[in-house]
Structure 1
């Protein structure tokens, strides 16, 4: 009998056949219709199975622009689990439950609106997007920047401050239909083609009380837990990118004439390539225990380690690919462009510097976790 992940991968490949992989909405629709989104979370759970998530990101990375894969990754690793958890603990009907069902069917795209226009990306406690909670209505004001799926979504899951104290209990989630009066959307440049990255503005947006997702005061705690899955997804995706880069680079080096043979025949070139292999194997080793574990967020410290390792491994291997390929790396779709976009692994979900500062605070735990 094939392994469950093999069955999932086979179904995924059938689903992707013939799909316009440069169209994020068309791809999301196909993943829903093909049952891929539903199958990511086994046994009706809220969290994606790590091996199935790895298979999904590997297959998408092989076929899609980076921005399109980003569009899917944010939804399956963060948005859908957060919304699904809210429906488990709350009403089985209403806009949140309807949105979850629409996402699973591939009909509904939801943006994760966390990064605030009024604060630095990693400092969520200083967010200035505010929700005024009333008995009969909720009013939302503020803005969010660099939001994936902003220009292509049907709704946004918005992190908003509902209390003034600078405390993790001062925030709530709101599910905001993008067509609601007072919501405006602006695209953000040309980066990450297919990701729908943009800015969201909320000017006196009036919502029904059932726009609240979960209980007020629990949003940051839930997000802090779920971001571990996002960081695992980033590590799994970065592995796929690095493996693809090294496979292509190896073929190119073996075919590129140089002196009496090829570039591959030069010991210095092979040494540089081998260092990239070691970096990838180190990332593989960090991911391996989580791939064999149950669905769910890794620990906070493990998530931060994965985040830093993924960012640094992608940068190391992409930079080496650009160096070794020279001018060829700057052709359309080449390694230079990929290196620029892959820099997001060092920013999204927490900047590398912030992660390293946090890891330093856990030095005793990390030093004591060895054999």
Structure 2
């Protein structure tokens, strides 16, 4: 099964030829996309020259293509297979929606299909670790999770190491399944990574998708949620912390095309740069409520803290509504420094200014971090926030 809007034939320009973000052209073939340029809406924030040729194919001149280095640890009731890009079940979550994701699909030597049997219930997470291929190499891959109906599982995808990497993650969530996903980009700071993530929701399926970006030179994640039947419930949560010289982009799409589904998006980020090396982040949240989706209930929020000079955050929520018969819809986004009144209050209680700042920033992130059901990972993300804060006065 392929996306209904998959196209073929002559290459088309990204950002053109469709009426809504939900109609974004998709294909498994890189040649179906024109090479992006800086004025294209989907690419206008990221510096294309920093993508090491992933966007235009010039990576082949300097980098050796290798399979993604993937390790999967899993409980009973889970099957792991190595397949090629033509595998229909691997493709079922949907086709790539931009040229880099299609490049990854076209160029990958092999892919991974992880099947969770129906009615599987496990307290032990499925751990997937993807390591960078190192300097001089570029790795491409695809990993699809096919979750059977009424299964209840936690999926942890961790990226680590160094290199240049582009991949596609697919999540097929069966009817009545409850799935928690954690995508942890814990790269070394010399890594470039672009990830396309397609999520297909069954009837009454529940998805809790958590994203964390703390490492990497350029990291761009694009999760997309589609519903196939009523009752789907998707929550997308994210945290990110950018230092000098880092660029993180979270660009998402929630496509409500069937009745009585829910979505909630909450991302929080902080930035600290300097005059020589700017820290930059971009968050683009697209939610589409089609005329065929009465009863939709959705809200999206993005909050950003600017901690130093030399930092810039772009926050762009987009809400397209084609029917007025909905339960609720809204969005909010903020970019700014933390509240001086909170700082004054803590200092008036005898807390030194530096410690007060740390407490405020940790509290800012905890609303998202504490929703991660894996205690060890939640504590690890808290530790990373503390480590980042130590750099401010270093």
TM-score tier by shorter-chain length is under 0.3
Structure 1 length-normalised TM? 0.26
Q: Which has the higher contact order (CA 8 A, sep 6+)?
A: 1
Higher strand content, 1 or 2:
2
Structure 2 length-normalised TM? 0.25
Higher helix content, 1 or 2:
1
Structure with max Cα Rg: 1
